[in-house]
Amino acid sequence: MTNPQPGVPAFEVRDHDPVAGADRPWFAFYPPGVPHAIDVPEESSLGEMVAHAAQRYGDKTAFSNLGGSLSFTEVDAYATKVAAYFTQTLGLRKGDRVVLQMPNLLQYPVALFGALRAGLIVVNANPLYTADELSKVVEDAQPRAIVVMANFADKLERVLVDHPIDHVIITEAGDLLPQPKRTIINLAAKHLKKMVPAYSIPQALPYRALLTGDAESFAPPTITPGDVAFLQYTGGTTGGTKAAVLTHSNLLCNQEQFIGQIRAVLDEGEASVIAALPLYHVFALTVNCIGFFRYGGHNVLITNPRDIPGFIKTIDASKPHVLVLVSTLAGALMENPAFAKVDLSNIRISVAGGMALRSAVGKRWREMTDSDIIEGYGLTEASPVVSVNPTHLPPRIGTIGVPLPSTDVKVLDDDGKEVPLGQPGELAVRGPQVMAGYWNKADETAAVITDDGWLLTGDVATIDDEGYLRIVDRKKEIIVVSGFNVYPGDIEDAAMLHPGVVEAGAIPVADEHAGEVPKLFVVRRDDSLTEADLKAFLKERLTGYKRPRHIEFIDELPKTNVGKVLRRGLRELEESRKA
- What is the full DSSP assignment across 382-393? GSSEEEE--TTS
Regarding beta strands 97-101 and 349-352, do their DSSP bridges make them parallel or antiparallel, or are they unpaired?
unpaired
> Coil, helix or strand for 289?
helix
**Burial class of residue 491, CB neighbours in 10 A (0-12, 13-18, 19+):** buried
pLDDT at 360 over 80: no
pLDDT at 369 over 50: yes
Q: How many helices (H) and strands (E) does the chain have?
A: 16, 26
pLDDT for the residue 513: 84
* Residue percentage of the chain with pLDDT more than 70: 93
pLDDT at 15 over 90: no
Q: Tell me whether the omega of the peptide bond preceding residue 508 falls within 30 degrees of 0, making it cis.
A: no
pLDDT (tens digit, 9 = 90+) per residue, 435-445? 999 999 999 99
E strand map for 397-536: 402-403, 408-412, 425-430, 437-438, 455-463, 469-474, 479-481, 484-486, 501-511, 515-524
pLDDT for the residue 200: 97
pLDDT for the residue 565: 76
Helical (H) or strand (E) element with 373 = strand 373-378
Are 406 and 430 within 8 A, CB to CB?
no
Instruction: State the average pLDDT over residues 324-341.
Output: 89
Give the pLDDT band of residue 5 (cuts 50, 70, 90). low
Q: Please work out, in degrees rounded to the nearest 5, the angle formed at the alpha carbon of residue 449 by the alpha carbons of 7 and 100.
A: 45
Higher pLDDT, 488 or 187: 187
Instruction: State the average pLDDT over residues 44-53.
Output: 97
pLDDT at 570 over 70: yes
Give the pLDDT band of residue 562 (cuts 50, 70, 90). very low
Give the pLDDT band of residue 385 (cuts 50, 70, 90). very high
**Burial class of residue 483, CB neighbours in 10 A (0-12, 13-18, 19+):** buried
Look at residues 471, 481, 493 and name the one whose alpha carbon lies nearest to residue 537.
493
Give the pLDDT band of residue 551 (cuts 50, 70, 90). very high
Look at residues 403, 537, 383, 412 and name the one whose alpha carbon lies nearest to residue 475.
412
**Dihedral (Cα; 439, 443, 449, 450), 10-degree rounding:** 150
pLDDT (tens digit, 9 = 90+) per residue, 89-136? 999 999 999 999 999 999 999 999 999 999 999 999 999 899 999 999
Are 12 and 380 within 8 A, CB to CB?
no
Are 13 and 247 within 8 A, CB to CB?
yes
- DSSP one-letter code for 58: T
Helix 107-117 vs helix 46-57: crossing angle, to nearest 10: 120
E strand map for 225-372: 228-234, 242-247, 272-275, 298-301, 322-325, 349-352
* Residue percentage of the chain with pLDDT more than 90: 75
CA distance 94 to 106: 24
pLDDT for the residue 18: 52
pLDDT for the residue 238: 53
Instruction: State the average pLDDT over residues 201-206.
Output: 97
Domains of the chain: 65-223 (3.40.50.12780), 479-578 (3.30.300.30)
Q: How high is the mean pLDDT of the chain?
A: 91
pLDDT at 316 over 90: yes
pTM: 0.87
**Residue type present at position 159:** V
Long-range (24+ apart) CB contacts under 8 A made by 384-389 are 384/254, 384/282, 384/283, 384/286, 384/433, 385/254, 385/257, 385/258, 385/283, 385/286, 385/287, 385/433, 386/429, 386/431, 386/433, 387/469, 388/258, 388/261
Instruction: State the average pLDDT over residues 230-244.
Output: 79
Tell me the H-state helices in 241-358. 248-263, 282-284, 293-294, 308-318, 327-335
pLDDT at 20 over 50: no
CA distance 449 to 11: 13
Instruction: State the average pLDDT over residues 392-411.
Output: 94
pLDDT at 156 over 60: yes
pLDDT for the residue 87: 98
pLDDT for the residue 357: 77
pLDDT (tens digit, 9 = 90+) per residue, 468-512? 999 876 666 778 898 888 888 889 889 988 999 988 999 999 998
b/e code 44-79 from CB counts within 10 Å (16+ = b)? bbbbbbbbebbeebeebbbbbbbebbbbbbbbbbbb
pLDDT for the residue 9: 55
How many Cα atoms within 13 Å fall on the side-chain side of residue 133?
Answer: 29
Are 476 and 455 within 8 A, CB to CB?
no
Q: Tell me whether the omega of the peptide bond preceding residue 384 falls within 30 degrees of 0, making it cis.
A: yes
Give the pLDDT band of residue 220 (cuts 50, 70, 90). very high
pLDDT for the residue 477: 78
pLDDT at 2 over 60: no
pLDDT at 568 over 60: yes
Return phi, psi of residue 156, to 5°.
-60, -40
pLDDT (tens digit, 9 = 90+) per residue, 318-330? 999 999 988 878 8
